[in-house]
Structure 1
Amino acid sequence: MTRFAGKVALVTGGRMGIGQAIARRLRDDGARVFTAQRGADPEFEHVEVDLTDAEAPAQVVAEVANRSGRLDILVNNAGFMQEARAEDMTLDAWERMIRVNLTAPFLLIKAALPQLRATKGAIVNIGSIEGIGCNPLHAAYSATKAGIHGLTRAIAVDHGAEGIRCNAVAPGWIDTELSEVYIESMPDPAAFRRQIGRIHPVGRTGRPEDVAALVAWLASEESGFVAGQTYVVDGGRMVKLPLP
């Protein structure tokens, strides 16, 4: 496909999981794709970066712009989760999650706005259903993802008239390397897989490609009248009421 022919995309956390699927989909649709994360990425042009460093986002955007001459699509995907109740979480742990999951996307957007203004570009932020609901022990993670959803709306409102669209995707359970590690830590992994599949009305868990397909649409001109929205990709999980 040539949907993004001549366009340049930056995907943070693009070396694995959802980010890798997004990077591959944008590339397959014609974009020149850069990824940014800790460590090298053998599949894509990349920038090695520590997103806990407040100077890193501007450096990443500058390097991509210098190497490609433009930026059309920014996908804020990088993030992590540490489980703890609020009373058990240290301030350092809380602040680190805020820096990576919320401050880094804010700084990346801020640095990218001049480039995106020039190209009438698109921003897609990866939030979570945990920015809407919450699993136990996820106080900080849920707070950051709710913040991403709010930031998405604010950027859309403030910069829409400049031709910059900003939307978010809120994935549910997606089969990634990290979720597989979690499943294998269960006493009966096979039983857990069956159980997690049954809680989804579509009868299965999600694939990274399910998220990537929506991200590609939101980054494309096909969604040109869509702005400030958060799209849930969870196989119907959040609309299904639990049985008594």
Structure 2
Amino acid sequence: MTELVRRFENKVALVTGGRSGIGQAIARRLRDEGATVITAQRGEDKEFDWISADFFDPETPERIIEEVIARTGQLDVLINNAGMMQEAAIEDMSLEDWQRNLTLNLTAPFLMIRAALPYLRKTKGSIVNTGSVEGLASNPLHAAYGATKAGLHGLTRAVAVDHGHEGIRCNAVAPGWIDTDLNLDLIANMPDPEAFQHNIGRIHPIGRTGSPEEVAALVAFLAAEESGFITGQIYPVDGGRMSKLSLP
């Protein structure tokens, strides 16, 4: 691996949902580029300094930001990565389940951003949200997930418009099929894992699924000062899947 440029020396980054999957890859990338990284999620993070977080509690985001400032004195990068996906037909989804998806995938990032703005204003900081290709199109039985991710994309643009003049940038990545432990376990439990992996790879022009590290590389770029003229954008990380028409 090529030695990484240390773009985040003397900077503090907060990654929600940073203990596993894409969030863990982001946390590692930012750390390897020099950042002091703190993660926030329900479970213990054995690799990073961490804060216990229940994002279904509306008081949690402000508490997390206050704790980051108490520990480090600053905040330069906010990564809103924590989220959930629930499969259900619209008619089968309770209002309670709908609200849980909305709370974790959209309201929590809003509250995190609101609490972080005073500190990001001081550092001319950057926000990167983890959206999804399902905020751009839809898979079956993912109404709540797709709607909340589309909302997160909209929030990303709104923050960029409202706070760009203060030096705060806000972008989002929209991952497609990424080989997280969760997805790999899903494939392993398929009747024919090898065939499924082959078929899922074929829907991507690049011929394969993606890695968490590939998402993290883009997040690091968007969080870094070298992308200073980029804000309000949603970047698919999908191996070209969204560009490919289905066969007639």
What TM-score do the two structures reach when normalised by structure 2? 0.97
SS at match of 2:213: helix
Distance across 1 between alignment mates of 2:246 and 2:59: 45
Question: In the alignment, what sits opposite 1:53?
Answer: 57
Alignment of 1:1-244 (within 5 A): 1-244=5-248
1:96-155 per-position Cα deviation (integer Å, ceiling 9, x unaligned): 011101000000000000000000000000000000000000000000000000000000
Residue 182 of structure 1: how far off its partner (Å): 1.7
- Comparing 42-51 with 180-189, which one deviates more in the overlay? 180-189
Q: Deviations over 1:7-61 (max 9, x none)?
A: 0000000000000000000000000000000011010000011100000000001
Gaps of 5+ in 1: none
For residue 177 of structure 1, report the CA deviation from its aligned partner: 1.1
Structure 2 SS opposite 1:170: strand
Q: Secondary structure at the match of 1:81?
A: coil
- Identity, in percent, stands at 68
Cα distance in 1 between the residues matched to 2:32 and 2:197: 31
Paired residues, number:
244
Query: How far 1:184 sits from its partner (Å)?
Result: 2.1
The offset of 1:198, in angstroms, is 1.1
Q: Distance in 2 between matches of 1:212 and 1:171?
A: 10
TM-score, with length taken from structure 1: 0.99
Q: After the TM superposition, list the runs of 4 or more consecutive aligned residues in structure 1 that deviate by more than 3 angstroms.
A: none
1: CA distance, partners of 2:89 / 2:158: 29
Cα RMSD after superposing both structures: 0.6
Q: How far apart are residue 185 of structure 1 and its match?
A: 2.8
1:171-210 Cα deviation digits (max 9, x unpaired): 0000001111221232211100010111111111000011
Return 5+ residue gaps in structure 2 as ranges: none
**Structure 2 CA distance for aligned equivalents of residues 86 and 65 of structure 1:** 41
